[in-house]
Structure 1
């Protein structure tokens, strides 16, 4: 996404030993004298947001804006989120991969009742309040990432054996029915595997399959305009039944029609780093 020099965004890679836990960290530095509002495309990841300036705001679909004073856990991000970065604001976002959030907190956010929480509510103590203070005192984003990884190393648990097949198949769209395949392999019921998807990942295999189709279509539209898009080709390549099916997915995930998305795509941030 192209941005003016006074509005800086970027990614900070994680060391190899952390690459099954986090995607690259994402940061925003708004050096402008006015707030900036953007739309985050769904990622199906749970994210941990640190805000180092005046309160930022995040607005889930059909919800009132919520202030982010210091840190907030959001997710899994299944629908688009509108967020506003204040003037002179700075934010750092940790993107948990697959079952990594469960391995960190021992639970996953599965409902909109729990969709937005301060991380200390999950930990049951005030350690994140202290972490936020330490991160804010550091001079740059790379040092903040390094400090956050040192903190995370204390809490990350080994992957449960029950989650291995689920993690390995969670984003493999070449498997037609991953739940059935895992259930047959493990000698368990499909219902039991479905519950484990929710437990470890926070979403179902069916939800992920729909998202993967949408994500690929979104990638095909990058940089295009309405006049250069062959919609029949988009429908066919995306595996949609018809154009109405395609439009329904865009309305579901982004709250926009495909044509509206093409007009506004510079304001829509597409997650990077996911396979």
Structure 2
């Protein structure tokens, strides 16, 4: 499988983590399944390949629209894909979707909503143009033009909530939220309300998501020596083994040792060129 990332233009970098194109080079085996831990980023995805479904704690089976928008994944989820994969999408910074489109992100957690229903009929033309584009670069350019137009309509500047969410990402979730609120000189109630609106979960829960996301990425890519769990626990910012195991199992549904042996994470199948 081919998975290629593209970086956004400078004006969009505060809002967009990356664009991506994902293609299968041949037809998939029947009911091809992969899993993904929560990563802390919302996205918009346009699918031109076979249909697919997701399973998560909220949905036993959710058929995914051809063009969809999704918010925070609060736990690991599984994808079941059919036929072929031809997708292009936008991965947003924590507050990017809310800022560019004015969306209350708590409504989008663990969901895949039809993009047309959320943003209106104007995105149908975008979907059609991207589907007719001759190559990957052109598809990404069309997505970026769409976002640049949305940016031109944006009146509100980034605020301390955006800064806090990005700092949680930068610190890989290892951060004291109470101290962060104090450092920002912001009302706790106002901060919690804005954070839930812009990101979709509380700041403390978001920090846990980012810590698990980083940990799973490192384990799946074999960058850490899994024979020394004490070192992994320390690197991930946990104070003791029981806390680490409880948190990891709660998010992924697997113990850390089982995850290392049997994970079918999406990252294992992607070839980034």
Q: What TM-score bracket applies, with the shorter chain setting the length?
A: 0.7 to 0.9
Counterpart of 1:196 (choices 170, 194, 197) is 194
Deviation digits for residues 192-215 of structure 1, max 9, x if unmatched? 111011122222221122233334
Please say if 1:72 is aligned against 2:74: no
What CA RMSD, in Å, does the superposition of the two structures yield over aligned residues? 2.8
**CA distance in structure 1 between the aligned counterparts of 2:91 and 2:236, rounded to whole angstroms:** 26
Counterpart of 2:19 (choices 9, 18, 25) is 25
SS at match of 1:170: helix
Counterpart of 1:229 (choices 227, 230, 239) is 227
Residues 59 and 65 of structure 1 are in contact (CA less than 8 Å); yes or no, is this contact kept in structure 2?
Answer: yes
1:248–1:93 Cα change, 3 Å:
farther
- 1:63 paired residue number: 59
Note the C-alpha offset of 1:144: 0.8
1:143–1:225 Cα change, 3 Å:
closer
**CA distance in structure 2 between the aligned counterparts of 1:207 and 1:113, rounded to whole angstroms:** 12
In the alignment, structure 2 segments of 5+ residues that lack a partner are none
- 2:255 paired residue number: 257
Counterpart of 2:211 (choices 190, 199, 213) is 213
SS at match of 2:242: helix
**CA distance in structure 1 between the aligned counterparts of 2:226 and 2:115, rounded to whole angstroms:** 44
Greater relative contact order, per chain length (Cα 8 Å cut-off, separation 6+): 2
1:10–1:37 Cα change, 3 Å:
farther
- 1:15 paired residue number: 9
- 1:3 paired residue number: none
Deviation digits for residues 96-127 of structure 1, max 9, x if unmatched? 1122101222113214688321122222x212
Residues 39 and 81 of structure 1 are in contact (CA less than 8 Å); yes or no, is this contact kept in structure 2?
Answer: yes
TM-score by length of 2: 0.82
1:112–1:11 Cα change, 3 Å:
closer
1:115–1:130 Cα change, 3 Å:
same
Total equivalences in the alignment: 259
